[in-house]
Structure 1
């Protein structure tokens, strides 16, 4: 008698077995990461060997390849450009810069521009002649603006006419040695009349992937912005990995309204698009009211976000078709939202409301030598900034570590006997580190331009063995035993109250679940006669802070949070405004500095938790605290 199992029985059993194995090991996701990372790493080495690290060559290849030359590369405000047309303009812009302003290979030129087609032509025009752009945040004014320009050691500042008012007379006087050129429409006509010149390859030659491609500035939330060095290797790795990992489809259009002066939009948006010869549409700046109109106008299928942008979009009223009266929030072609900082409390709601199939969340920083990715289509990895299976985890365990940190000093906790750092267990918060070459850390971390002190502050030595070197991300994360990595807090944002550590991210998440709270930014404030910091939340409400609403919020935090984590104070704001960066990330420094002192903040905007309810905080209440008579 035959013992063979019928195919109709064996096949489902095999499939079920493989599905179970995959669920336990996340093998398919590891494979997605591996086939994204390894080919990109090899491509980086090949481009370095050929002396073609400059991404200008990638654009040139797309423009001269018959399969992509006529493909639309760029869409902006009703204008569109193929790869061939973009290449032609890039050559003209580069030639104009060289002939009229003497820009030479390796020169640094500062660009102060809103998002536009001109931004991209200038950027690649500089790369075409071997020069390096320094991307200036167009929102900056005064001494911060002059600091950024001076930090670039540039002699030329190119300015968008739309932001020329930010370049005041005081700024011009402070930049007396810098030539400031405003790209008026008349000047742009002159550029387009310039003969397109392709300068020789030796002008663009770079011998190492670690060489500077551009300067991109940190947000400066706790001080002046620092000019982070974006290396050629990072441009290739960032764009190449994302282009493979996202899984672009035929006809895809990538839309971003994130600022091009930031690496997310520049590298993971523009360069990612060029890597696969597709189309990018850009918005001048983010607008919650215009966002979906532009997405539909450009037939975008992939959109780029930062977390707070998604919150603003969710906070907008439903879009109703004026003719049919139907809700058109899902009337779009978007299959993937790609970005970083999407919080767990709105993750599923954002997907559901706008009919998005997948969230492509990533974790990275301009200066950091590491990145994490989480491509999620279900709730298993909801809220995770990265994830992996056992195979990828085995590889990364040699390159990443999560260590214990003292929340009072913000320094790693070291073993008193060995002096070495201690790793946290799975599911416990700790600072994320990335291994660097001990002999020459610049191979992986190029740091900040002309700022050795700031660069060295990001390097931690003697972590697990004498002389080893690790990059400090400054972020605390939770890496669970299923390979999911969740953002916990920025170092310095976690604070101690009642002898307990309070995670601002955790409290923000809980508060964001209350229907009356549109946005919450949590931080700790110092109080007279009290140790540690009391919790405070700057909140934007969906309505007015009436008695019923505030009582409801108090009940919510009392039920959902332990006593030490409940915000003692609420500061009601009409909008976050200056409490967010231009990339919509929360800033806490100024809020922490102001605290709840009525001489620094409007006491009418502050409520405090008293007797289990949030009630108005008065100047007499502050006096009671200042006199040491309050028990919180």
Structure 2
């Protein structure tokens, strides 16, 4: 017996080493933990449904009874315990019911910046069995009117400060006698300090359980809107299953405990901060510290003041924090983990090193999507990936997600002669699809509120076999041989030039390596007169030092233009090098959402017509044939292109 012949002092370390290798190679530990979390949260959700207690008001109430003195919310220097918060929620619920006559399942729109009042209104509505619609406080004009109307609400409660930013035309539109789809008027209440005082003097009443009864996991809990990067915002139905199961899953995945303090200044109108942030805190019974809005200068001060242990980021947040001048205080905090989505690979390791953050918990998901990808990263192995799945997850849950080959000219999956899609090979980009129950689509995908057309457009049928159904994410991802998932692009953002597909995310990542020159980079394809396809254009915000020079002189430093061109030409295929460079006059002009995500559609529409680009003070440059630096691009150059005198 060979094993018996091996001395014990050698066999045990060898066995441990072998197990460690297998765990590292196949990620058995993380897979088993995630699988257990997935199963147990589903079981808990089903139990809640059987008990007719899917409303998270009951979880809030439970903490108020079992841990009344534990802090739940920190905002603007004030702390609120679970008991104090619960009492406020009851007061707000009572006020909402008596003031407006709100009934069970009514939808009420709230248009607020981050604040404690946002939380009280939200849970106050849940306490009486009503449903909130979270309006993006940055919206004005048509997008705002559309968002409120699409919710079907008869009531809009808007923060006084937000109301003050709206123009007279928008206010008149909201207050029109026939605003609603049914021809009725909308009740609009600007929430002033006197309204808050009125509520503080109310005696809160807990509504009986019947007010919240009859809810199933797939019923609507909240309306949360898409970002509107591809058109007007659409209200996505966020179910009780999602607001209950997802936060519990995240709580287990992150290892949140009652001692943690979770800091977010991401907008509460978005699912990341609301469902995963507040919801995750509620699942763990810990505390959440809320920032009014994102300010890079005050971000770490807020973290230190609240003694935050976990921070949340979305989009370019971490890049903006990296643009701060280095400080001796950079690592003076209690933060052990950064949790969010959209952390670019070029920023990831630098952010961890500079600020001493041990763990990055990156995920991929969509507000309306039925599933997600997760990557809890403590080392360099999974840096830059939006998800990691090992052998266990791949085997048992492999059918729940699939990447399929794309036709990037038509922006849709390729179908073979039999009409089915083709699975993409490892490391080959394609659209990520999530499996749906073809017999009950609404079980995991509730779609968009009262919008069957938009809902059905997200469901693909007959993908791999006849009759199956998948959720179309609209995103291009790739998965490597090691089980790491990487985000490539939004469908429609990838463009073709010189018969090659160009990933805007990959080009932005390369340019982002020049952090001393650029603070932000947004890449997209533009139509060029006399040319097929789209040429690459990079719209950039200069670094603070370069921006100061730009604003002082009105010109971009020639060395900066040459260095950017050289870097792109050395590190990108010729077809992927941006031929145009748009320099924003300032950071505010950079077209990003309230969640620090970049928008491209307006930039694409403006293209490289100098009159459209420069009307707001931006500057436009191009990499002319044979040139090694970007030079200014104006009307004369545009006329040459239009006349066919220059071939790119």
> What TM-score range do you get, normalising by the shorter chain?
over 0.9
For the Cα contact (< 8 Å) 1:540–1:576, is it kept in 2?
Answer: no
**Structure 1 counterpart of 2:237:** 229
2:401–2:432 Cα contact (<8 Å) kept: yes
> d(CA) in 2 for partners of 1:391 and 1:540?
43
CA distance in 2, matches of 1:3, 1:231: 57
> What does residue 265 of structure 1 align with?
273
Gap regions ≥5 residues in structure 1: 320-326
SS of 1:496's equivalent in the other structure is strand
Change (3 A) 1:246 1:396: same
SS at match of 1:486: strand
The answer for the alignment partner of 2:645 in structure 1 is 629
Cα distance in 2 for residues equivalent to 1:3 and 1:404: 52
Q: Which residue of 2 is the match for residue 324 of structure 1?
A: none
Write the distance in 1 (CA, Å) between the matches of 2:210 and 2:372: 32
For 2:83 and 2:214, the matched residues in 1 are separated by 25
* 2:71 aligned partner: 72
In 2: Cα distance, 1:168 partner to 1:128 partner? 34
Does the aligned pair in 1 maintain the 2:91–2:204 contact within 8 Å?
yes
Change (3 A) 1:167 1:617: closer
Aligned to 2:181: none
Does the residue aligned with 2:224 lie in a helix, a strand or coil?
strand
1:183-205 CA-partner distances (Å, limit 9, x unpaired)? 21111111121111111111101
Structure 2 CA distance for aligned equivalents of residues 207 and 190 of structure 1: 31
| Equivalent position SS for 1:523 | strand
Quick one: which of 535, 547, 558 aligns to 2:569? 558
Q: Displacement of 1:3 after TM fit?
A: 5.2
The answer (yes or no) to whether the contact 1:94–1:125 under 8 Å persists in 2 is: yes
- 2:329 pairs with 1:295: no
Give a deviation string over 1:347-399, Cα, whole Å, max 9, x none. Answer: 00000110000000011111000111100010100000000111101122211
Are 2:620 and 1:609 equivalent residues in the alignment? Answer: no
Q: Answer yes or no: is the 8 Å Cα contact 2:32–2:392 preserved in 1.
A: no
Q: List aligned pairs for 1:578-617, cutoff 5 A.
A: 578-602=590-614, 605-610=619-624, 611-617=627-633
Aligned to 2:553: none
C-alpha distance after superposition, 1:2-50 (max 9, x if no partner)? 9564443222111111111111111011022112211111111011111
Aligned to 1:357: 358
The 1:403/1:250 distance shift into structure 2, 3 A limit, reads same
Counterparts of 1:442 and 1:307 in 2: how far apart (Å)? 29
Q: Residue deviations 1:566-612, cap 9 Å, x none?
A: 00000011225451011010100000000110121119711111212
Contact 2:257 2:285 in 1 (8 A): no
CA distance in 1, matches of 2:540, 2:505: 14
Query: Which of 187, 194, 198 is the equivalent residue of 1:186?
Result: 194
For normalisation by structure 1, the TM-score amounts to 0.97
CA distance in 1 between counterparts of 2:75 and 2:314 reads: 20
SS at match of 1:114: coil
Q: For residue 454 of structure 2, what is the aligned residue in structure 1?
A: 454
Q: Which residue number in structure 1 is paired with residue 102 of structure 2?
A: 103
> Is 1:88 matched with 2:87?
yes
What does 1:167-566 align with in structure 2 at a 5 Å threshold?
A: 167-175=166-174, 176=176, 177-249=185-257, 251-319=259-327, 327-415=328-416, 417-514=417-514, 515-542=516-543, 543=546, 544=550, 545-566=556-577
2:258 and 2:93 map into 1 onto residues whose CA distance is: 32
Please give the alpha-carbon distance, in whole angstroms, between the structure 2 residues aligned to 1:174 and 1:222. 24
Deviation per residue, 1:257-290 (Å, 9 max, x gap): 0000000000111010011110110000000001
Aligned residue for 2:636, secondary structure, equals helix
User: Secondary structure at the residue paired with 1:601?
Assistant: helix
1:54–1:206 Cα contact (<8 Å) kept: no
1:250 is displaced (CA, Å) by 5.5
Tell me how far apart the structure 2 counterparts of residues 276 and 222 of structure 1 sit (CA, whole Å): 35
Residue 171 of structure 1, CA deviation: 2.7
2:269 and 2:4 map into 1 onto residues whose CA distance is: 67
1:570 matched residue in structure 2: 581
Which has the larger displacement, 538-547 or 68-77? 538-547
Asked if structure 1 preserves the Cα contact closer than 8 Å seen for 2:258 and 2:287, the reply is no
Instruction: Find the residue that maps to 1:146 and give its secondary structure.
Output: helix
Q: Runs in 1 of length 4+ with deviation above 3 angstroms? A: 1-7, 166-169
Q: Is the 8 A contact 1:53 1:206 kept in 2?
A: no
Structure 2 gap segments, 5+ residues each? 177-184, 551-555
Contact 2:258 2:285 survives alignment (8 Å): no
Decide whether the 8 Å contact of 1:48 with 1:206 is kept in 2: no
Structure 1 578/559 Cα, relative in aligned 2: closer, same or farther at 3 Å?
closer
Relative to the length of structure 2, the TM-score reads 0.94
